[in-house]
């Protein structure tokens, strides 16, 4: 049973978070039913895509035990404080906060759910986000504590579920979509990632994981389908080097699709 003192403390924390993120116009959560579907790649490149379109954008790396956003964005070094506020790092104008920059590279985060949730609330309540158009939260895979915490504290106005075309991924993404609906997130949409590979030598399309599964699932679950992102070797190489394909090669096939998805997000949420 929660004591009166604990209730007051929770209320104070909730107000602190609400006040701190009140200047962020739109909050998007990106998650998936299972790992390995490229959710972080999608989060990072959508953030850069929105910034290229002129929006003030930030990424909250909510995968506390497996934070990969810094690797894909090239940010390094320790996070700094200003008074009692955490100052987010920046990459190409996008603000970023991640657990990875609070730890040594080889240090594991062995925390139970409540501790991970507390860290997410700190990222929401103590980071100096300032005035922003979009904050994208890259969540860990699954439907665990962190997803619940983000839904309750961040109050997102859009959830983007990432899947691959293969059946094993689609099975899990159904659960993610159902969870987003139960959390009453106003806008829920789906992206199919790893949707085919264009052979760089002959131009033939290879459907490594099948095709069309994401669009079919979106129709069955009655949610918008934002697009099918192809596999792109350059995108993988650049991500390993901390670079974004939408910035380095904005005419690549994957970049074209990502910018099309950005346009759809703009149409749904506005500015």
The DSSP output letter for 16 is H
- Provide the pLDDT for residue 190: 97
End-to-end C-alpha distance for the chain, whole angstroms: 43
Strands (E), 19-66: 24-31, 57-61
With respect to residue 270, please indicate whether it lies within any of the assigned structural domains.
no
The values of phi and psi at residue 267, to 5°, are -65, -35
- Provide the pLDDT for residue 1: 63
- Structural domain for 87, as ranges: 14-265
With respect to residue 86, please indicate whether it lies within any of the assigned structural domains.
yes
With respect to residue 5, please indicate whether it lies within any of the assigned structural domains.
no
Compute CA distances 54 → 47, 213, 250, whole Å: 11, 32, 15
d(CA 139, CA 52) in angstroms, rounded, equals 23
With respect to residue 6, please indicate whether it lies within any of the assigned structural domains.
no
- Provide the pLDDT for residue 122: 92
Strands 89-91 and 205-206: unpaired
Please, what is the Cα angle at 126 between 125 and 129, to 5 degrees?
85
The dihedral through the CA atoms of 51, 240, 67, 82 has a sign that is negative
203: left (phi over 0), alpha (psi -120 to 50) or beta: left
Strands 89-91 and 94-97: antiparallel
- Provide the pLDDT for residue 271: 65
With respect to residue 95, please indicate whether it lies within any of the assigned structural domains.
yes
Name the token pair of 73. 């964005």
- Provide the pLDDT for residue 186: 94
With respect to residue 4, please indicate whether it lies within any of the assigned structural domains.
no
* Mean pLDDT in order along the chain per 10 residues (271 residues): 76 90 96 88 97 96 90 90 92 94 76 85 94 95 83 93 88 91 94 84 74 90 95 92 95 95 93 65
- Provide the pLDDT for residue 35: 84
d(CA 177, CA 10) in angstroms, rounded, equals 28
With respect to residue 18, please indicate whether it lies within any of the assigned structural domains.
yes
Compute CA distances 35 → 113, 172, 176, 238, whole Å: 18, 10, 12, 21
The DSSP output letter for 101 is G
d(CA 232, CA 230) in angstroms, rounded, equals 6
Number of structural domains found in the chain: 1
CATH (domain of 167)? 3.40.50.300
d(CA 208, CA 166) in angstroms, rounded, equals 9
With respect to residue 1, please indicate whether it lies within any of the assigned structural domains.
no
């Amino acid at each position: 049973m929660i004591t009166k003192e604990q209730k007051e403390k929770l209320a104070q924390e909730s107000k602190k978070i609400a006040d701190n993120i009140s200047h962020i116009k739109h909050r998007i959560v990106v998650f998936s039913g299972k790992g390995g579907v490229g959710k972080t790649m999608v989060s990072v490149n959508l953030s850069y895509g929105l910034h290229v379109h002129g929006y003030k954008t930030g990424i909250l790396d909510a995968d506390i035990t497996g934070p990969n956003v810094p690797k894909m964005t090239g940010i390094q070094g320790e996070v700094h404080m200003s008074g009692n506020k955490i100052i987010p790092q920046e990459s190409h104008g996008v603000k970023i906060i991640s657990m990875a920059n609070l730890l040594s590279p080889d240090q594991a985060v062995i925390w139970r759910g409540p501790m991970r949730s507390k860290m997410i609330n700190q990222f929401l309540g103590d980071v100096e986000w300032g005035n922003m158009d979009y904050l994208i939260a890259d969540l860990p895979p699954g439907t665990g504590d962190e997803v619940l915490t983000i839904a309750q504290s961040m109050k997102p106005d859009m959830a983007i579920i990432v899947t691959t075309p293969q059946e094993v991924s689609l099975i899990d993404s159904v659960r993610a979509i159902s969870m987003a609906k139960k959390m009453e997130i106003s806008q829920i949409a789906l992206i199919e990632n790893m949707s085919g590979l264009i052979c760089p030598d002959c131009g033939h399309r290879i459907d490594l994981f099948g095709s069309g599964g994401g669009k079919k699932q979106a129709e069955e679950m009655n949610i918008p389908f934002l697009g099918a992102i192809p596999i792109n070797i350059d995108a993988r190489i650049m991500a390993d080097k901390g670079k974004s394909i939408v910035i380095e090669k904005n005419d690549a096939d994957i970049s074209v699709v990502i910018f099309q998805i950005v346009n759809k997000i703009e149409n749904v949420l506005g500015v």
